[in-house]
Amino acid sequence: MSVALLHATLSRTALFFTGAIGVWSLWLVARNRGIDGRFMGALVIGETLMVFQIVLGVALSLERGWDAVRYLHVLYGVLAALMWPFVYTFAPRDGSRRETVMFSATTFFLFLLLVRAVTTAVAPR
């Protein structure tokens, strides 16, 4: 499997995974629940996926040459990888509804950011 195909396939996986986490976080908000270990584990899996996407993107850029890079796409990718750790840094981490709302809003924003990153990607050659 080529790097480009793997990067494109994992981008769709990241979209679906982030959407599922967003629905899950909205469910937690609706039920007035806090963030638990299962949800944080899913965030770690999602964050690992984002970092792996960056590694694949860098490998793809090295393969194709830096002339083919769309820097807005790179900005979206780096921002996507930093969103959950940023919120984790500033969230109260007390199992409150406020923490859940923070992660829910961030996850839905991240989903829209990933949609935008996919639309600014360079089409495979």
pLDDT tens across 44-70, in order? 999 999 999 999 999 988 888 877 678
- Regions of the chain with pLDDT less than 70: 68, 122-125
Domain boundaries, the chain: 3-119
C-alpha to C-alpha distance for 73 and 92, rounded to whole angstroms: 31
C-alpha to C-alpha distance for 85 and 102, rounded to whole angstroms: 12
pLDDT at 65: 80
pLDDT at 78: 94
Residue 124 DSSP code:
P
pLDDT at 26: 96
Contact yes or no for 122/68 (Cβ under 8 A):
yes
pLDDT at 125: 55
Name the nearest CA neighbour of 97 among 42, 35, 55: 35
Contact yes or no for 51/14 (Cβ under 8 A):
no
The reply to whether the predicted model has a pTM over 0.85 is: yes
